[in-house]
Amino acid sequence: MSYAFYKVLHLSSVIILFASLAGMLFARHAHAEREGKPPLWVPLVALHGVSLLVLFVSGFGLIARLGIGHGAGGWPTWIWMKIGLWLVIGAFMVLVKRLWKQLLPLFLTLLALGIVTVWTAVTKPGPAPARAAPAAEAPAAVDVPAEDAGSDAAVEGTEP
Ligand code: HEM
């Protein structure tokens, strides 16, 4: 799978995750003290779970495509920060269930979590990552002056 494929998957799952969490918060708040589950609760929880998983898997797909060192030892600070933020965002559902009366503070907290994670993803704070050993380097292309194209010099790259 290409880098672009993982990135589309990654950013699409970010949108679905935050939309499902906001949806759960507003649905729970609107349902107030009434019995049973709020409307759309089950599909929202399912979307939340699937998008969290796809976000995680696509994040590691991106790590691989960026050639960032194999294994936790090679991960830069910003990836650890993102995994930590992913865990906090994943646990946000517990806050929705317990603190749904605090609608505005919870909604602003959700937005702040998103903004901090996007900032982390774009600015990548911390030291640069260890790069995995790149695959065997292909021989560098030899710059062949137009007038030498087709002559022996072109093959050997030496002056005619
Ligand atoms: C397990 C958790 C996660 C991992 C391992 C992860 C990993 C990555 C990686 C490796 C990239 C590519 C960076 C690049 O191309 O330079 C990326 C991009 C991105 N991630 Fe995540 N991510 C995770 C969770 C999240 C979450 C929760 C958000 C939510 C806001 C998020 C938002 C983004 C954004 C916006 C980008 C694009 C950054 C850019 O193009 O510069 N990620 N992520």
Amino acid 130: pLDDT: 58
Q: What is the pTM of this model?
A: 0.80
Cβ neighbourhood burial of 45 (10 Å; 0-12, 13-18, 19+): middle
Amino acid 126: pLDDT: 86
Given CA atoms 28, 34, 35, 40 in this order, what sign does their dihedral have? negative
116 ligand 1 Cβ < 6 A: no
Amino acid 160: pLDDT: 47
Are the C-beta atoms of residues 105 and 96 closer than 8 Å to each other?
no
Amino acid 151: pLDDT: 54
Distances, alpha carbon 149 to alpha carbons 143, 146, 154, 155, 159, in Å: 10, 5, 6, 9, 12
47 ligand 1 Cβ < 6 A: no
Q: Which residues of the chain have pLDDT under 50?
A: 158-160
Amino acid 127: pLDDT: 78
- Over residues 61-76, the pLDDT tens digits come to 999 998 886 566 678 9
- What are the structural domain ranges in the chain? 3-128
Amino acid 68: pLDDT: 82
Mutate-to-test residue for ligand 1 from 62, 77, 85, highest number of ligand atoms within 8 A of CB: 62
Are the C-beta atoms of residues 56 and 86 closer than 8 Å to each other?
yes
Amino acid 140: pLDDT: 55
- For ligand 1, the distance from its centroid to the CA atom of residue 154, given in whole angstroms, is 44
- State the closest ligand 1 atom to the C-alpha of 86, by its place in the atom list counted from 1: 27
Amino acid 35: pLDDT: 87
- For ligand 1, the distance from its centroid to the CA atom of residue 146, given in whole angstroms, is 44
Region label for 122, one of left (φ > 0), alpha (ψ between -120 and 50) or beta (otherwise): alpha
- Over residues 86-114, the pLDDT tens digits come to 999 999 999 999 999 999 999 999 999 99
> Closest Cα to residue 55, out of 3, 22, 10, 4?
10
> Closest Cα to residue 120, out of 9, 48, 4, 14?
14
